[in-house]
Structure 1
Amino acid sequence: MFNQSTAKNQRHSFAVGVEYGHEDLFLELELGTFHTTPLHAQRIANSVNSIILLKDHMVVIFKNAESITINDDFLKHAYKFRVCTKPKLPPLELSALTHREREEFIRNQAYIVTEEDMKEVNWDIKTAFQYLQQQYDARDQAYFSFSLSSSYVIPLSTHMQQEVQHATY
């Protein structure tokens, strides 16, 4: 008989990744395809602690204090950049708002970024670094620290799993 605990512990293939952002520049980093349980796949996605963008490489720091370095020669296919095209609005001091004004702010579409507001750019690491330096007048800044925006765990279909297995043989 099929029960819930059996379903939770079944292994499947998952595409796992994270998205980190700095101001209006977002970095999607594919951590890989893993054959594991759904819970473990989510733990893998949550294992990234921070991402640091430097002039010619990125450092991915994991919660266990391990790290990997990504450059344009190593793992170039694992990342892509997106830029938010929505005009930036001035910051708003929420503490000065009444409860009703805060409720209206939460629903205000002018401050909500949607998928349509994001534009994928075909940038290498150096271009992304230069963009942030120029865009935020930070020419003397040696690095940019990205903060977590989201993570994803996408189950791969059986058909897709078979294709991946055939491609690896």
Structure 2
Amino acid sequence: MYTQTKVNNQKQAFVVGVEYYEEDLFLEIELGTFHTTQLHAQRIANSVHNVILLENQIVLIFKNADSISITDDFLKYAFKFRLCTKPTMSPLDISKLTQQEKDDLVLNEAYMVTEEDMKEVQWDINTAFRYLQHQYEARDQTFFFLSSSAYYVIPTNEQMDQEGMKDAT
């Protein structure tokens, strides 16, 4: 029988990743597979502080100030780009809306993006960078600070409990 302590110490393999975006371009980065607890896997995903898209590289800056540079030659299978195909809605002046109208607006499906609205594109880093420069008339811009969108922690079938690890060594 498992006690609560034993269940909390149970380790499993998790695939951990993050998604960041700029306008309609989404960047998904797989951080890796980690053999840990679910809570620690979530902390790993949340450890990414900023993502910067440069002309030929992606820089991940972590909350502890460490950073990783990803290029098309190094870790090129760790990321993928997706475009949102849903037409953008015109901006609204929400200052004149009642609180109920604001609440309804938050739940309005016209403003929500779903998986069906996303299209994966087989782009390298330079193509994505040039797309943002061209699409948003930012030809002088030398980098794009991407905004956090989501993270994922996907368990695999591998499980190991910490007590079992001690016995095995």
Normalised to the residue count of structure 2, the TM-score between the two structures is: 0.90
* Pairwise CA distance, 1:94: 2.5
Does residue 125 of the first structure (1) align with residue 122 of the second (2)? Answer: no
CA distance in 1, matches of 2:38, 2:109: 34
Flag the structure with higher strand content: 2
Q: 2:120 is paired with a residue of what secondary structure?
A: strand
Q: Can you give the 5+ residue segments of structure 2 that lack an aligned partner in the other structure?
A: 160-169
Q: Does residue 5 of structure 1 match 2:16?
A: no
Aligned length: 159
Question: 1:30 and 2:36 equivalent?
Answer: no
Query: Among the aligned pairs, what percent are the same residue?
Result: 62
- Higher percent of residues as helix: 1
Cα distance in 1 between the residues matched to 2:104 and 2:62? 38
Distance 2:66 2:106 in 1: 38
Question: For 1:80 and 1:4, how far apart are their aligned partners in 2?
Answer: 39
Distance 1:53 1:103 in 2: 34
Higher relative contact order (CA 8 A, sep 6+): 2
Q: Which amino acid in structure 2 is aligned with residue 114 of structure 1?
A: T
**Whole-angstrom CA distance in 2 between matches of 1:42 and 1:16:** 8
3-state SS of paired residue (1:11): strand
How far apart, CA to CA, are the structure 1 residues paired with 2:19 and 2:2?
35
Distance 1:66 1:73 in 2: 21
The offset of 1:33, in angstroms, is: 0.3
Task: Give the secondary structure class of the aligned counterpart of 2:20.
Answer: strand
* Residue type at the aligned position of 2:40: H
Secondary structure of 1:42's counterpart equals helix
Q: Secondary structure at the match of 1:158?
A: strand
Q: What displacement does 1:106 show?
A: 2.0
Q: How do 1:132-151 and structure 2 match up within 5 A? A: 132-151=132-151
Hey, what's the Cα distance between the residues in 1 that align with 2:9 and 2:147?
31
Deviations 1:38-88 (A, max 9, x none): 111111101100100001111110000000110000000000001000001
Could you tell me the TM-score, scaled by structure 1's length?
A: 0.90
SS in 2 for 1:157: strand
Q: Counterpart of 1:142 in structure 2: which amino acid?
A: T
Alpha-carbon offset, residue 9 of structure 1 = 1.3
Bigger mean CA offset, 73-82 vs 87-96: 87-96
RMSD: 1.2
Following TM superposition, the consecutive aligned residue runs of length 4 or more in structure 1 with deviations greater than 3 angstroms are none
99-108 or 39-48: which moved more?
99-108
Find the aligned partners of 1:20 and 1:3 in 2 and give their Cα distance. 38
Structure 1 residues 50-59 or 104-113, which shifts more?
104-113
Question: 1:102 and 2:66 equivalent?
Answer: no
